[in-house]
Amino acid sequence: MVMNPEEGYHPAERVRAFERAAELLTAPSALMHLTIDEARVVVGYMTPQFIPNTTTFIREGDAADDGFMALLLEGEVVVETVTVSRTEPLTIGVLAPGSLVGEVGLVDREPRSASCTTSADSLFAILTRHALECLINDQPRIGSKLLLAISARLAERLRDNARKLRLYAKLAKAMQLEIDNLLVPRN
């Protein structure tokens, strides 16, 4: 649910938002490994977007092919999922400025894997799949560098999830051993 990106933006605010986006893209925590000049090129393909507090702008399971990635410039986003065993959302993360949101949806056409809701008025820089394709055509070196950085971020998350799964498997095994010990009759 991306709103009208031009709504309420004066040229000076737009420039400030773009410069903030470029700074965040070059931050070590962004994993972008872009120079400030490269980041400014990428930001030139992005659109500023204000999203009010409590707005769910990505919905888990949404199959609409509206591939976009959002760089959080100001505000906060809660990432939630409804797992098989739950009916209420489970918070899996709270994102601060500098965080990327929806990068998986930028590169694939699968349903969204989590819901994202603003928990404060938030400002984003949006990169659509179409804009990414234009960037790759116009600036192939910078576009490929951006895609490699996004891939590195996704790989990091995949490795983190694999570590969590190993931990959960160990916990499940330990719990099963405890249950088995409780069920064994004592003499």
CATH code, 167: 2.60.120.10
Range of the domain at 113: 11-183
Best CA proximity match to 143, nearest among 62, 42, 59: 42
> Following CA atoms 133, 139, 142, 144 in sequence, which dihedral angle do they give, to the nearest 10 degrees?
50
The answer, yes or no, to whether residue 142 has pLDDT greater than 60, is yes
Q: Are 100 and 32 in contact (CB under 8 A)?
A: no
144 domain-assigned: yes
Q: How many domains does the chain have?
A: 1
CA atoms within 13 Å, Cβ hemisphere of 38: 18
What is the pTM for the complete model shown? 0.79
Q: Please give the Cα distance from 45 to 72 (Å, whole number).
A: 16
pLDDT band, very low/low/confident/very high, at 161 (cuts 50, 70, 90): confident
1 domain-assigned: no
Please enumerate in sequence order all residues whose Cβ is within 8 A of that of 103, keeping only pairs 6 or more positions apart, or say none.
69, 150, 153, 154
Specify the range with the lowest mean pLDDT, choosing from 7-11, 59-63, 100-104, 110-114.
7-11
Q: Please give the Cα distance from 43 to 35 (Å, whole number).
A: 12
What's the pLDDT at 134?
Answer: 97
The answer, yes or no, to whether residue 68 has pLDDT greater than 50, is yes
pLDDT band, very low/low/confident/very high, at 183 (cuts 50, 70, 90): confident
123 domain-assigned: yes
pLDDT band, very low/low/confident/very high, at 6 (cuts 50, 70, 90): very low
Average pLDDT for residues 9-22, to the nearest whole number? 77
Q: Which residues pair with 72 in a beta bridge?
A: 124
* 112 or 187: which leads in pLDDT: 112
110 domain-assigned: yes
161 domain-assigned: yes
DSSP state of 164: H
6 domain-assigned: no
The answer, yes or no, to whether residue 144 has pLDDT greater than 70, is yes
The answer, yes or no, to whether residue 22 has pLDDT greater than 70, is yes
Tokens 């996704």 correspond to what residue?
Answer: 154
5 domain-assigned: no
What's the pLDDT at 9?
Answer: 54
Average pLDDT for residues 109-125, to the nearest whole number? 91
Span 23-47, pLDDT tens digits: 888 876 665 678 899 999 999 999 9
What's the pLDDT at 132?
Answer: 94
* 3 or 125: which leads in pLDDT: 125
The answer, yes or no, to whether residue 3 has pLDDT greater than 50, is no
What's the pLDDT at 126?
Answer: 94
Phi, psi of 69 (to 5 degrees): -125, 140
4 domain-assigned: no
